């Protein structure tokens, strides 16, 4: 998917942030910032789950922005255990605001990227969040909005389902469990796309209608 996207560089605290932008046909309804898994374990903006999320949002009418965390690809800097990565995502979100004005911002991420997005959400006002295989337990507070979509694999050995359920319980966040799926959702990427698109459905239409009436 990145081959057809526009590759830009955004200035961050540790240097430039390589980012791929994929645009929908017509006027975008918002911007979706998609974060990749752990950079020290091979995570990049070309990760298949990240691309599946980006594609789903483009099909829903959003501009997708997929940055490489610091030290990955052509992004400068070094891995910072989520702290600097949070700052980098905030820079990309700010850049999206300059490009697309007051368009709604969606935060999405996979694994480590999902955990980092819980920190970005504390300092932005996302329209909604989508977290896939979230690597919860990295930060002191990982509170998310009640309408957050959380997708997890039944057979995830990297981030056990029980850990995510424990995190979700006090927040009363529903978890969409994909039967038989491992952490990387091998052969089940289409399910992620369908969950996101179907979950948007009437919710997205209602939200868009409210924006048009405002």
- Which secondary structure element, helix H or strand E, spans residue 199, and what is its range? helix 189-213
SS3 (DSSP) at 55: helix
% of residues, the chain, pLDDT over 70: 92
Q: What is the pLDDT of residue 163?
A: 98
pLDDT at 168 over 70: yes
Tokens of 188: 């089940």
Q: What Å distances lie between residue 189 and 20, 127, 153, CA to CA?
A: 20, 23, 11
- Confidence grade of residue 127 (pLDDT, cut at 50, 70, 90): very high
- What pLDDT sits at residue 213? 31
- Identify the residue with better confidence: 57 or 202: 57
Contacts of residue 178, defined as CB under 8 A and 6 or more positions apart, other chains included, come to 151, 152, 153, 154, 185, 188, 191, 192, 195
Question: How many DSSP H helices and E strands does the chain contain?
Answer: 5, 8
Position 204 scores a pLDDT of 52
Alpha helices (H) along 121-188: 161-168
**CA nearest to 200, candidates 164, 153, 147:** 147
In 5-73, the DSSP E strands lie at 6-12, 15-22, 30-35, 62-67
Q: In the prediction, which pLDDT does 208 show?
A: 43
CATH architecture of 2-213: 3-Layer(aba) Sandwich (3.40)
Give the chain's mean pLDDT: 93
Residue-level pLDDT at 144: 98
In terms of DSSP bridges, do strands 30-35 and 105-110 run parallel, antiparallel, or are they unpaired?
parallel
Q: In a 10 Å sphere around its CB, with 0-12 CB exposed, 13-18 middle and 19+ buried, how is residue 66 labelled?
A: buried
* Predicted pLDDT at 102: 87
How do residues 2-24 score in pLDDT, each as one tens digit?
446 899 999 999 999 999 999 99
What pLDDT is recorded for position 202? 54
Q: What is the mean pLDDT of residues 27-33?
A: 96
Residues with Cβ within 8 Å of residue 19, at least 6 apart in sequence: 7, 8, 9, 10, 45, 65, 66, 67, 68, 92, 95
To the question of pTM greater than 0.75 for the whole model, the response is yes
pLDDT surpassing 90 at residue 121: yes
Helices (H), 43-82: 48-59
């Amino acid at each position: 998917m990145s081959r057809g996207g526009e590759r830009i560089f955004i200035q961050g605290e540790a240097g430039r942030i390589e980012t791929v932008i994929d645009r929908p046909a017509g006027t975008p309804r918002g911007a979706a910032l998609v974060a990749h898994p752990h950079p020290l374990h091979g995570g990049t903006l070309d990760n298949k789950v990240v691309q599946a999320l980006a594609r789903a949002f483009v099909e829903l009418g959003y501009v997708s922005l997929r940055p490489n965390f610091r030290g990955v690809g052509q992004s400068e800097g070094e891995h910072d255990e989520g702290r600097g990565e949070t700052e980098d995502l905030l820079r990309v979100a700010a850049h999206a605001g300059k490009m697309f004005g007051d368009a709604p911002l969606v935060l999405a991420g996979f694994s480590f990227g999902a955990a980092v997005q819980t920190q970005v959400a504390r300092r932005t006002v996302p329209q909604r969040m989508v977290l896939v295989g979230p690597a919860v337990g990295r930060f002191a507070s990982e509170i998310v909005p009640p309408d957050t979509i959380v997708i997890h694999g039944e057979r995830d050995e990297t981030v056990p389902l029980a850990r995510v359920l424990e995190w979700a319980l006090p927040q009363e966040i529903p978890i969409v469990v994909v039967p038989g799926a491992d952490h990387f959702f091998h052969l089940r990427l289409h399910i992620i796309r369908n969950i996101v698109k179907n979950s948007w459905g009437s919710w997205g239409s209602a939200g868009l209608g409210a924006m048009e009436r405002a």
